[in-house]
Amino acid sequence: MTAITASMVKELRDRTGLAMMECKKALTEANGDIELAIDNLRKSGQAKAAKKAGNIAADGAITIVQEGNKAILLEVNCQTDFVAKDENFANFSKNVANAALAANEVDPAKIAELKLADGETVEEARIALVQKIGENIQVRRAKIIEGDNLAVYRHGLKIGVVVAYAGEAETGKGIAMHIAAFNPVAVTAEQVPADLIAKEKEIAEAKAQESGKPANIVEKMVTGSVEKYLNEVVLERQMYVIDNDKKVADVLKATATAVNQFVRFEVGEGIEKKAEMSFAEEVAAAQAAAQ
């Protein structure tokens, strides 16, 4: 029996786009013969899914499942909005979210190994869906949030928010809607990641230096720019989406409500998308490929 090395698994993964575990299984069954493993994968239909793996999946949907005081946000990607609205895609996403929440698992690689209610693994179900629909489909990320009070809000298919709060339920729901619209990075200024503030300060300093102002004025300009940034990204400092005359902090205080934490997912954020070709460019590309 040939020993299956990490380099062999990596090579098969690079050539097929399949998950590490699937590649290792295929190599084991083929006694380490990569070409035979690829042939076997083609015969089983997994090659179709592998071929689609190179396509950028930047569309998709956010699924939210809540069980008691715990909820999960799950992003599953596909290539087009048409598939994101497909019932088969929606059912797959919900089944995966249920399995991940039950297992308390948020690592996509480990989620792929979870068993669904019908006995299939998530990865097996994903491959079958790719074969059926014909697009690359990927479980991208998941986050579980817990709290005595949870406010859940989904804006269409693309944005999902869960807020853990203490206080008034109506306010909790309103804050979830606000977060969907305004995308804050933290509840308070103290919670804003230091690297974000450092980056903003660096940009502000570069702009201020170009002004040629004295050092003391430059310092004030930088401080002002950072404060402006914090006013834009800190939840408590934002103007409330439901009442633009009030800040979120005012609403929370008036209703004796506190936001403990929140999670906001938006489909495709952070994924680099290919620029769409014009019709002329598509024709030129097709001619080049035919030569």
Highest average pLDDT, of 2-11, 104-113, 211-220, 273-282, comes from 104-113
Residues belonging to the chain: 291
pLDDT at res. 17: 63
**Which of 124-138, 164-178, 210-224 has the least mean pLDDT?**
210-224
Mean pLDDT, all residues of the chain: 87
**Which of 46-50, 69-73, 131-135, 137-141 has the least mean pLDDT?**
46-50
Q: Please tell me which residue, 219 or 245, carries the higher pLDDT value.
A: 245
Share of the chain above pLDDT 70, in %: 86
Tens-place pLDDT, residues 59-80 = 999 999 999 999 999 999 998 8
Q: Does domain 6-52 have CATH number 2.60.40.1190?
A: no
Tens-place pLDDT, residues 217-241 = 878 888 898 999 999 999 999 999 9
Does residue 289 surpass a pLDDT of 50? Answer: no
60 and 121 Cβ atoms separated by less than 8 Å: no
pLDDT at res. 77: 94
Share of the chain above pLDDT 90, in %: 59
pTM of the prediction? 0.74
pLDDT at res. 93: 98
Confidence of residue 290 (pLDDT cuts 50, 70, 90): very low
pLDDT at res. 54: 52
Q: Please tell me which residue, 46 or 262, carries the higher pLDDT value.
A: 262
Q: Please tell me which residue, 276 or 270, carries the higher pLDDT value.
A: 270
Q: Please tell me which residue, 198 or 204, carries the higher pLDDT value.
A: 198
pLDDT at res. 277: 45
Superfamily of domain 59-146: Elongation factor Ts, dimerisation domain (3.30.479.20)
Confidence of residue 26 (pLDDT cuts 50, 70, 90): confident
**Which of 9-13, 130-134, 178-182 has the least mean pLDDT?**
9-13
Q: Where are the domains of the chain?
A: 6-52, 59-146
Same fold, 6-52 and 59-146: no
